[in-house]
Amino acid sequence: MLDVYKIREDFPILGKKVNNTDLIYFDNAATSQTPNQVIDVISDYYKQHNSNIHRGLHSLSADATNKYERSRTIIKNHFGALHEHEIIFTSGTTHGINIISSGLEKLISENDELIVSEMEHHSNIVPWQMLCEKTGSKLKVIPINDNGTLNMNEYKSLLTPSVKFVFINHVSNSLGIINPIKEIINLAHTNNSKVLIDGAQGAAHFKINLSELDVDYYVASAHKLCGPTGVGFLYGKSVLLNSLPPYQGGGEMISNVTFNKTEYADLPHKFEAGTPNISGVIGFGAAIEYMNSIGFNHIESYEKELLDYATENLKKIKNIKIYGDVDDKISVISFNLGNHHPSDIGSILDQYGVAVRTGQHCTQPIMDHFNIPGTVRASFSFYNTKSEIDLFIDALKKASNMLG
C-alpha cells in the first residue's frame, strides 16, 4: 500500500498556496513535481561534486563521471535495456526524436513511407513532416476511433512494404489512452518496419521492459518522472544507433580529430556532444530510484484508483463530456463542460488553486477530429489525493455556476 500523506511530505511544492488557497496540482501530464530526494541530489552535486565529466584525470571529475554513468546504469536497468550504451542522454523526448529524424535523412528515400497516428503530440509529427520534406518520402496517418483509441485495422492496412518506420506514442498525452504498443511493434516488424515509441507519457506510470518489447527506439523525459527538466533519454538498439550518423558535432563525440578526417566515438558518446546536463542526468537517476522505492506496482494501482474516483464523480456533473473514456488509460481525464470554452474553465479553476491544462495539448489533429477548440485536462499523480479530487469537482461546479 502507498501512504500518500507520507509521500506528500517529500514534495515541498505541494504545501504551496496559490491565489490564497492550497495548491491542487493536476497538471502532472505536463510536468511532474520534484521530491526532496531529487532536489537534494542536484543541490549536493553543485556543492560537492561539480566537475566536467569523462576527460578529467582529477578526482572530482572522476567522482562526477561515476555519478553520471551510474544514472545510465539505473536507467538501463529500470527500462530493461541490454547495454548501458543503448541509453543516450538527451535534453528530453523532443531532442531524442530529432536525433532519429535527422539521422534518417540519408537512410530514407522518396519511395519510402512513414507512419504516425492522429493522436500524436506535435513533437512526434513535425520532425517527420520535416524529414518527408527533405527526403520526398510520404507520411501516412493512422486515424483514431471516436472513443479515442487507435484504429488498428487501419494501421494494418497502412503497413505496406514501402513503410520503413512507424512512430507512435505509448500513451496519448491529451487523452491518456494507452496504446497496444507490443502489437504495434510486432506488426511493424513482420512488415520489416522499424518502430519509435514516444514514451513521454508512458514511462512515468508503469514499468516497461524495452528489450522484451523489442522496440527499436524509445524516447522519454525525466521531468514527467519526478526528475528535473531539460533531460531525458533515447533508447536504441545498438545496431541501429551504430548505423545512424551523429546528430551534433563537438567535443565528447569524437575519438580522433585531424583536418583530414575525424573519427567518431563509440556509443553512447557519439550522440552526446558537448558538456551534457550532468546535474540533470544525476537527478534523473535519483528520480528513478525514488519512484522505485515507492514501487511502480503501487503507483499504477493507486493512480488507477484516483482515475476511477475522479471519472465516476465527474460523470455526475451535468453536461460533462469526457474524451477517450476507455479502460486502458493512465490517470488523465480530458473533458469539456457544456459549451464552455476550456480556457474559461481553466481560468476559474486556477482561482480555486486547481492547476489543470487547457487547450489543444499540442495535439491539434485530435481536437480537429472531435471538432472542439480544446479540452480541460486533469492529470493525477501518485502524490494526489481523493480529497483534492473532491475540491476540484467542487470548484468545477462553482465554475459551471459562474459561467451560467
The contact set with other proteins (CB under 8 A) reads 19, 340-341, 343-344, 347-348, 350-351, 358-359, 373-374, 402-404
55-61 long-range contacts, Cβ below 8 Å, gap at least 24?
55/252
> Which is nearer to other proteins, 21 or 255 (by Cβ)?
21
**Half-sphere exposure of residue 158, counting CA atoms within 13 Å on the CB side?**
25
In the set 130, 362, 372, 391, the catalytic residue is 362
3-state percent helix, strand, coil for the chain, nearest multiple of 5: 45, 20, 35
Residue 103 host element (H or E): helix 93-103
Q: Is 101 exposed, middle or buried (0-12, 13-18, 19+ CB in 10 A)?
A: buried
| Of 381, 384, 324, residue with least CA distance to 172 | 324
> Which is nearer to other proteins, 172 or 360 (by Cβ)?
360
- C-alpha dihedral, 161 to 164 to 167 to 168, nearest 10°: 30
Alpha helices, H only, 175-222: 181-190, 210-213
Q: How far apart are CA 97 and CA 123, in angstroms?
A: 8
Q: How far apart are CA 88 and CA 265, in angstroms?
A: 13
Q: Is 226 designated active site?
A: no
Locus of grid cell 551504430: 242
> Which is nearer to other proteins, 192 or 343 (by Cβ)?
343
| Of 161, 149, 148, residue with least CA distance to 140 | 161
- Residue 317, C-alpha cell as written in the block: 456533473
Give Cβ neighbours of residue 352 (< 8 Å, ≥ 6 apart): 19, 21, 24, 391, 395, 398, 399
Minimum CB separation from other proteins for residue 403, in Å? 6
Say if residues 336 and 375 touch (Cβ distance below 8 Å).
yes
| Of 298, 383, 390, 399, residue with least CA distance to 341 | 399
Q: How far apart are CA 36 and CA 383, in angstroms?
A: 13
136: helix, strand or coil: coil
Q: How far apart are CA 377 and CA 387, in angstroms?
A: 18
The residue count for the chain: 404
Q: Facing residues of 359 across strands? A: 375
Cβ count within 10 A of residue 321: 14
Locus of grid cell 548505423: 243
